[in-house]
Amino acid sequence: MPTTPPAFTGLSAFPLTPADEAGRVDTDALQRLLSRVVEAKTNSIGLLGSTGTYMYLSREERRRAVEAAVECVGGKLPLIVGVGTLRTDDAVALARDAAAAGAHALLLAPVSYTPLTEEEAFRHFEAVAAATDLPLSIYNNPSTTHFSFSEALIGRLAGLANVSAVKMPLPKGGDFSGEIARLRAATPANFAIGYSGDWECPHALLAGADCWYSVVAGLFPKPALALTRAAISGNAEETARLDTSFHPLWQLFKTHGSLRVVYAAANLMGITKAQPPRPVLPLGSEAVRDIEAAISLLKD
């Protein structure tokens, strides 16, 4: 039986992709972010996810980002690369670019202006999964794509060669155990189930999820890794204790959106001066003061 790809287990850190106003990636700043993650020894890196603003970058700049990441990471950690885009042929090309540059796995969101049917989403994933030999994770992110995967569709996709994992949003009502059980019943034994939505992901791990796809780990990999390990070990008390220091940051994520918050935090930490891609605007001074106070609680 095939084993679960290690890229889709444990803690996957999703960093920013710093770029200038014209959308040219600052590879030096990107490598500074990645070096922190490599030093912390998370389980994988998620490049060009939503926090990595993949939809705001050209194919050329995405390729430059992957090449810079591969150069920095040097095979020390598995590198998952997001390849979502509007057209299927373009997503296939992005997948091939990532594979040629040295990525270890792919992440695909069904991005579309016209709402997709389940059959359209399936055919999209079928084409991209067949484009390379890399394991691929389904990116179920209805808040940005406006497409929500049914459990039946996830089960169908899990039958495709190379489709090895799913990155889920937080379940309604917080029923991680129930949702994970249903997904396990619909997918092969080696299929990995992970979650994003940082403020609830420790609970997902306690409930038996395979992976935390983490925004905060892109900036604070060491405390995020400690929290991950406590949750995976089933130590609810230690998980709650470690999670407390993140609570002010979680609240800011909910209030302002994690993307705006991590840009401000990265600026405060001196890692990059890059701002969010327009039309997303940087946060004002009052919010930045709150972010500074929140990140002071995290020992990295």
Closest of 248, 283, 246 to residue 268, by C-alpha:
283
The candidate with the shortest Cα–Cα distance to 138, out of 78, 199, 205, 183, is: 183
| C-beta separation of 252 from 291 below 8 A | yes
Question: What count of Cα atoms within 13 Å lies in the side-chain half-sphere of residue 232?
Answer: 14
Catalytic residue among 41, 76, 167, 299: 167
Is 51 marked as a binding-site residue? yes
Alpha-carbon gap, residue 144 to 159, rounded angstroms: 25
Distance CA 215, CA 203 (A): 16
- Give the C-alpha separation, 47 to 183, whole Å: 25
**Cα separation values, 235 from 263, 269, 281, Å:** 32, 31, 39
Catalytic residue among 54, 139, 195, 263: 139
List, in sequence order, the alpha helices (H) in the chain.
Answer: 27-40, 59-73, 88-101, 118-129, 142-145, 151-157, 176-186, 201-206, 221-232, 236-244, 247-256, 258-268, 285-295
For 274, the token pair is 């890059």
Active site residue 139: yes
Q: How far apart are CA 12 and CA 213, in angstroms?
A: 5
Alpha-carbon dihedral of residues 277, 261, 74, 1, nearest 10 degrees?
-100
Phi, psi of 9 (to 5 degrees): -130, 155
3-state secondary structure of 137: strand
Residue ranges of the annotated binding site for pyruvate are 51
Residue ranges of the annotated binding site are 51
Catalytic residues: 139, 167
